[in-house]
Amino acid sequence: MIAPLKIAVAGLGTVGGGLLKLLAANAEPIAARCGRPIVVTAVSARDRRKDRGLPLEGVDWYDAADTMAAHADCDVVVELIGGSQGIARRVVDAALARGKHVVTANKALLAHAGTELAQAAEARDVVLAYEAAVAGGIPIIKTLREGLAGNRAQRVYGILNGTCNYILTNMRRTGRPFSEVLAEAQKLGYAETDPSFDIDGIDAAHKLAILAAVAFGTEVNFAGVHVEGIRAVGALDIQFAGELGYRIKLLGLARMTEHGLEQRVHPCMVPLETPIAHVEDVFNAVVVEGDFVGRVVSEGRGAGEGPTASAVVADLMDIARGRRAQTFAVPAARLQRAAAAPMDRHRGAYYIRLMVRDRPGVIADVTAALRDEQVSLESMLQRGRRPDEMVPVVLTSHDAEEAAMRRALARIEALDTVLEPPRLIRIESL
């Protein structure tokens, strides 16, 4: 057996601890499959006195992770600290500058600096691997770069954040409001104390920017992602979605259009007959549509100690075997700088919920605003009770341009019979 692959691990939190446990528990099959063992030679974390219950005998400890990346006796630096700047960026920069391979689970860093880091890795002829950065235990980066390499991607979309999927799933199951289910998710550890990164769609947008770069051979463009979260999704919307034959999911969607690369993260109405409608709780799913392969659906746990550590080890095993892949599927110098498709030019169907005062002429005023913007209605649900009481009115449209729909909603919101801002959710044909 040839010399072991020596790795240094920056960060011993949930994922870092899981990585060390996995490498220890499955050392024999990993070595057999790689033709060489993978051994941890150095680690770095904030508190070396903390008992983590991890196998750290004979491992060098560094208080400064960037110092470890620069000077540790290792072939690969594994960055599991997180964050788009600060110490995580310094660790990756130090490792690449010294010709060491890098494996990371850091989607924020890649979303903001992926193109630059890919260029640096290529210049030093080392690997920058990040399977764990997108969709946890689902091997979607390998699927795009290798299994579907012969295809032109037509569209990539998916449920990319388990916290949001858990909240939406349990709002539907229980009928409880967003705030109550979020509090439950925090209690169970599925949501952070400050959950904004997840529920405002930023986490999913980071992952989508990476997926789009791999799928379409473009520079990573996080700034080009249209982002909306799930705070405004109400229990009433989830109820109406079911009546209309849909479920509400926070999706990330990317495709190349005549206006440029469209990247968007927002709540969607998805038809019940589609596979992604039935991906529940904290699970993630990614769908790739290729010109020759058709539709490929991958589902699994998107976060957590085990799934994320599994993805890190898969990258380490590729490096141990000597397998190389371009960071974003093509050489960094050939990544396209695609224009970002304006959201105003998006065309699709829409769900609109209004809370109106139940008076004669309300619907006529609403439909007139839509008619004037060339928005055609497909269906309407009206819940009338007593005159002058606030009631919901739900409309669905045929395909319309986003800008036209926004203009129509601005006119509708200004009506004195409309008592709350209109709720808009895009309907996706998947």
Closest to 186 in 3D by CA, of 175, 176, 174, 198: 198
pTM of the model: 0.95
What tens digit of pLDDT does each residue of 48-95 get? 778 778 778 889 999 999 999 999 999 999 999 999 989 999 999 999
What tens digit of pLDDT does each residue of 268-306 get? 999 999 999 999 999 999 999 999 999 999 999 988 899
Mean pLDDT for the stretch of residues 240-247:
96
- Two domains, one topology: 5-133 and 344-427: no
Closest to 312 in 3D by CA, of 4, 17, 3: 17
pLDDT (0 to 100) of residue 51: 75
pLDDT (0 to 100) of residue 179: 95
Q: Which residue has the tokens 């008592």?
A: 419
> What is the full DSSP assignment across 77-102?
EEE-S--SSHHHHHHHHHHHHTT-EE
Is residue 1 predicted with pLDDT exceeding 60?
no
Amino acid at 391: V
CATH superfamily of 140-301: Dihydrodipicolinate Reductase; domain 2 (3.30.360.10)
Task: Give the pLDDT band (50/70/90) at residue 387.
Answer: low
Mean pLDDT for the stretch of residues 354-358:
91
Read off the tokens for 386: 């007593």
* Residue 308: strand, helix, or coil: helix
Task: Give the pLDDT band (50/70/90) at residue 384.
Answer: low
Please check whether residue 150 is in contact with residue 292, taking contact to mean a CB–CB distance below 8 angstroms.
yes
Domain made up of 344-427: CATH architecture:
2-Layer Sandwich (3.30)
What share of the chain in percent tops pLDDT 70?
A: 99
Catalogue the active-site residues. 207
Read off the tokens for 162: 């388990």
Kindly give the pairing relationship between strand 246-257 and strand 260-271.
antiparallel
pLDDT (0 to 100) of residue 340: 96
pLDDT (0 to 100) of residue 46: 84
Mean pLDDT for the stretch of residues 6-24:
94
Q: Which residues, including other chains, have CB under 8 Å from residue 99's CB and lie 6 or more apart?
A: 124, 125, 126
Domain ranges of the chain: 5-133, 140-301, 344-427
What tens digit of pLDDT does each residue of 149-201 get? 999 999 999 999 999 999 999 999 999 999 999 999 999 888 889 999 999 99
Is the sign of the CA dihedral 394, 400, 402, 406 positive or negative? negative
Read off the tokens for 219: 């520079």
Mean pLDDT for the stretch of residues 309-313:
96
pLDDT (0 to 100) of residue 302: 84
pLDDT (0 to 100) of residue 388: 67
Going from the C-alpha of 107 to that of each of 118, 140, 311, 412, the distances in angstroms are 14, 14, 13, 39
Read off the tokens for 258: 């005549």
Distance CA 113, CA 388 (A): 55
Domain 5-133 coded CATH 3.40.630.10: no
Mean pLDDT for the stretch of residues 112-117:
97
Is residue 385 predicted with pLDDT exceeding 70?
no
What tens digit of pLDDT does each residue of 329-352 get? 999 999 999 999 999 999 999 999
Kindly give the pairing relationship between strand 377-382 and strand 390-397.
antiparallel
Mean pLDDT for the stretch of residues 260-264:
97
For the chain, the average pLDDT equals: 94
